[in-house]
Structure 1
Amino acid sequence: MSFLAKSEQPSSYPNYRIWLDTIYLRSWLAVFLSMSGTFLLLLTLSTVVYAQTGSAFWSAAVFASQWVLAILSPPVVAWLAQRFQPVMLLAWADFLAAAVVIAAGLIFPVSLVACLVLLAIHGVLDAINRSLRVLPLKAHVPPEHLKAAVAYFSTAQYLAFGVGPLVGILLVDRLTVLGIAALDALSFVASGCLYLSFRKLTIGMGDAFSGFAALWRETRAVVAKNALLRRALLYLIVIVSLYQGFHNVARSEFAFRYLGMSLDGTMYVQLVASVGIVFGALLAGRVSRHLPAYSSALPLLIATALGCLAIFLPLGREAVLVLYGVFMALFEVAFMVCQAEAVAECPLPSLPAVNAGSFAAMTTGMMLMVFAGAAATDLTSLFTVALTIGVAALALGLLVNRQTPHVAGSD
């Protein structure tokens, strides 16, 4: 079944190249621009709040605030995707996000709490974007190239995670929070315009369900009958909850307390992490076609746990930063191998609901990890938190394997 007009459909022949596909490239650039601006703003706010309060909890709350309302968004995202074209939803979510971040920049000097509320609203718009932006790939990219396309597509976000702190190093002492917010808003406007540039791409989502209950019944049925999809989704939730959550706690704490760096130390730690993540995404793009998540997820999760503990080795600052990059590269390979499997296995009409649901679950887990991990870090140490997470990762991985029995041909 074709979901696109012939004029928008790439060839499925061997000559297809991802980096010559203009729709793919525009989608990639839209994500890169919007995420660069957003991460610059969030990282700046997190750094300023930590400098003012000295608390890992409040610093982490800047990022965690985006997830509070996002965890409630799956029904809304799924309903919208059934009734409106996903490309237009992506564009308008970005335009609305531009207005919200300007408001957050204006209110920050007056009230941190009010700023966090606006960031929570921004988080809903971000959830819409994250849940839908892979749909043009699923519908447009030939199936034999899809796993690699999904893995390489993530480099847009992770290069943005590097550009954000790099720009932050240059601007954190030169621009106000409102100035940074204005740059973020411009990035959203540019991203929205890129989505509008291929608004004629029509993604067929099938007949709309009569209500939320029918939609979620169908979504649960899709996941329940496909063990490959189910295991990939469960590992995604575990990996992101534990290790993305840990990174959000560690970013400022590690720079200030363990490495003895100054105000821009958070930016340097994130820059190193971003380099590792991009390397991991590129590696995942090369191996995802040959590395099934069903059999490789647990070994990759264990490798990530060991990489996380390695950053506490008593080495010099430069060596520890390299190890932090290696840890984040291992995290990204584990994440992308599972995500590529999930996108490839999920039917297109169910993908918005499955993406939104898994994003909400990952976000909930990550939010709990951030708040619990930050509080535990203030009470104990970051190393204690990392060790506890490692034990939890092994236990949860074994539990997932037990709950998703072996499927013939999945190795």
Structure 2
Amino acid sequence: MTMPPEDPKPGSVIGKRSLTALLWMINLSSISASVLVYIFLAHHALRELDSLLVSEFVLFAPMVVPVILAFQLSSLAARLEVRMLLRLTNALGAAACLVLFLFSTLNTWVILIGATVVGALDAIQRVARIVVIKQYFSTDELKFTVPLTLTAQFIAGAVAGAIMAFFPSQMTAGATATATISLFAGAALCTFLLPPSAGEAPHGQAGSFRLANGLQLLRELPALRRSLVSFVLLGSFFQGFYNISRVALPAYHLGLSQQYVGLLQIVASLAAVAGALYFYFMSRRGAAFDLRYIYPACAAAMFAACIGRSWPESYPLYFAYFFLFELAFFRLQADIMAAAPKHQMPMVAALQYALVYAGMMLAIFVGAFTVKWFGLAATAALFAAGFGAAQFVRWRAASRVSLYAAPPERIR
């Protein structure tokens, strides 16, 4: 397999490689801005307001909003042209940061409202990022495009980890305002370079999201159903554990300082970027990425990382765990985008994020208690076993459906 050609399609002003790089820049700028907002508000709530509850709400905002607003996100992504949607949300993000950091007193209510507004804009862009890839690239190009364009979110996480680890005192409201406004504005300006989208939804088929419509689509498309259910399970258990362990592993299990929390964020982000690049280059060589081997290897690395009693033991295994997680993530994400009809992509993306974040929040809630009662290693084992059991149930259910749906054999 080869890289998508550089030559642009008719009516396009830039080639596929340039388009991929442009989308990557837009994603990196907007995600970095959102992450900086979350980190600053959470840190301010904890340090200045002495409120762990408000700090936790800020960090939960990116997950809560896609679940609550799934209907509205799908309708918005289906009805607005994707370039305009990205441009508008980034411009509003810059305006929100201007008001939040320069013209407001950061009390409890301002922080809660600010985190909700930025979380809503972030949620819209998460759906739009999936839709824009589906609109601009063919099915054969998705396996190359998905890992490259989505690496921006992991690099943004690494930047956030570096700031947390090495420059906590420099995170003033003025500096955060300058950085976030510049990043959001830069992303909005970059959208003017995007070509017109490759195709629009057929008339009458880009309606608002309804759960019944989503379930009907999954019933009609078995490949989409298999990939989406596996993606939700993967995100709920493995990414849910990541959200627990990124603080609990260094601070609770190993008893290390905040700098090592930031260092682990950098390790995870580097693992994600390495996984994306490995997936891209190996996909070009025709690698299939068999999930039957990736799942158990990822679970084993996740558990092993929680057994070590020092960071030189745990962090390399954590790198392996997140590297393998990303291989499965990109494989399933590419499969979902390939199986979903283009005009239904907004609904599929909204449903995907709503289910994944609902599962992650449940995993985080359960994990908070199991870490306290049984420890991090036991929690990792519980999550790995839970994922395996859920996949077994999914496989059995799929086998029954295919058995009953199969036409009877003709007697020869």
TM-score (normalised: structure 2): 0.84
1:35-59 residue CA offsets vs partner (Å, 9 max, x unmatched): 1232233345445666789998775
Q: Cα 1:218–1:88, aligned 2, differ >3 Å: closer, same or farther? A: same
Deviation readout 1:119-159 (Å, 9 max, x if unpaired): 23322222211112133322322432221211222212212
| Aligned twin of 2:61 | 65
Report if aligned partners of 1:57, 1:374 keep a CA contact under 8 Å in 2. Answer: no
Alpha carbons 2:245, 2:376 under 8 Å: kept: yes
Q: CA deviation at 1:281?
A: 1.4
Moved more, 156-165 or 273-282: 156-165
For residue 3 of structure 2, what is the aligned residue in structure 1?
A: none
CA contact (8 A) 2:34 2:118 kept: no
Cα distance change on mapping 1:210 and 1:145 into 2, 3 Å: closer
1:103 and 1:340 map into 2 onto residues whose CA distance is 38
1:392 matches 2:396 = no
Q: Which residue is 1:185 aligned to?
A: 181
Partners in 2 of 1:275 and 1:315 — Cα distance? 22
Query: Which residue, 323, 333, 342 being the options, matches 2:327?
Result: 333
Q: What letter matches 1:245 in structure 2?
A: G
Which range moves more in the overlay, 79-88 or 371-380? Answer: 371-380
CA offsets 1:364-395 (integer angstroms, 9 cap, x no match):
11122223323443454323322221111111
- Rg bigger for which structure? 2
State percent identity of aligned pairs: 23
Alignment correspondent of 1:99: 95
The equivalent of 2:107 in structure 1 is 110
Instruction: State which drifts further: 47-56 or 188-197.
Output: 47-56
Task: Please state if 1:311 is matched with 2:305.
Answer: yes
Q: Which residue in the other structure is 2:279 paired with?
A: 284
- Distance of 2:298 and 2:64 partners within structure 1: 26
Q: Which 10-residue stretch deviates more, 170-179 or 278-287?
A: 170-179
Aligned to 1:228: 223
Over residues 169-194 of structure 1, what are the superposed CA-to-partner deviations in whole Å (9 max), with x where a residue is unaligned?
A: 34311222553254223211111111
Alignment of 1:8-407 (within 5 A): 8=12, 21-46=17-42, 60-103=56-99, 105=101, 109-111=106-108, 114-177=110-173, 179-198=175-194, 200-201=196-197, 203-209=199-205, 212=208, 217-288=212-283, 290=286, 296-314=290-308, 316-405=310-399
Is this contact kept in 2: 1:44–1:168, CA < 8 A? Answer: no
Q: Which amino acid aligns with 1:238?
A: L
Q: CA 1:163–1:210 in structure 2 vs 1: closer, same or farther (change >3 Å)?
A: closer
Question: Per-residue deviation at 1:202?
Answer: 5.4
What SS class does the counterpart of residue 200 from structure 2 fall into?
A: coil
Distance 1:191 1:291 in 2: 33
My pick for the range that moved more, 371-380 or 306-315, is: 371-380
2 CA distance for matches of 1:60 and 1:309?
25
Q: Distance in 2 between matches of 1:108 and 1:338?
A: 43
Q: Contact conserved, 1:40 with 1:167, CA < 8 A, in 2?
A: no
Q: Partner letter of residue 394 of structure 1?
A: G
Cα 1:308–1:52 change in 2 (3 A) is farther
Give the Cα–Cα distance (whole angstroms) in 1 for the partners of residues 148 and 228 of structure 2.
19
Shift of residue 109, structure 1, vs aligned partner:
4.3
1:95 is displaced (CA, Å) by: 1.7
Query: What is the aligned partner in structure 2 of residue 14 from structure 1?
Result: none
State the distance in 1 between where 2:279 and 2:56 align.
28
Q: Is the 8 A contact 2:250 2:260 kept in 1?
A: yes
1:296-325 residue CA offsets vs partner (Å, 9 max, x unmatched):
335423222211111123354223211111
Q: 1-side partners of 2:89 and 2:332: how far apart?
A: 27
In the TM superposition, residue 204 of structure 1 has moved relative to its aligned partner by 1.0
CA distance in 2, matches of 1:110, 1:56: 14
Distance in 2 (CA, whole Å) between partners of 1:40 and 1:375 is 28
| In structure 2, C-alpha distance between the alignment counterparts of 1:68 and 1:170, rounded to whole Å | 29
Number of aligned residues: 393
2:11 equivalent to 1:7: yes
Cα-to-partner distance string for 1:49-97 (whole Å, 9 max, x where unaligned): 6678999877554321222232122221222233220111111112222
The offset of 1:236, in angstroms, is 1.0
For residues 396 and 178 of structure 1, the distance between their equivalents in structure 2, rounded to whole angstroms, comes to 47
Segment of structure 1 superposing worse, 147-156 or 114-123: 114-123
Query: Aligned pair in 2 of structure 1 residues 81, 69: CA closer, same or farther (>3 Å)?
Result: closer
Say if 1:344 and 1:253 are closer, same or farther in 2 by CA, change over 3 A: same
- SS of 1:401's partner is helix
Measured after TM superposition, the shift of residue 212 of structure 1 is 3.5
Bigger drift between 39-48 and 253-262 goes to 39-48
Task: Tell me, in whole angstroms, the C-alpha distance in 1 between the residues paired with 2:55 and 2:247.
Answer: 8
Contact residue 240 and residue 366 of structure 1 kept, 8 A: yes
| CA-based RMSD | 3.1
Equivalent-residue separation in structure 2 for 1:108 and 1:254 (angstroms): 34
Structure 1 SS opposite 2:333? helix
The C-alpha deviation readout for 1:252-276, integer Å capped at 9, x for no partner, is 2222223333232221110011011
Q: State TM-score, norm by structure 1.
A: 0.84
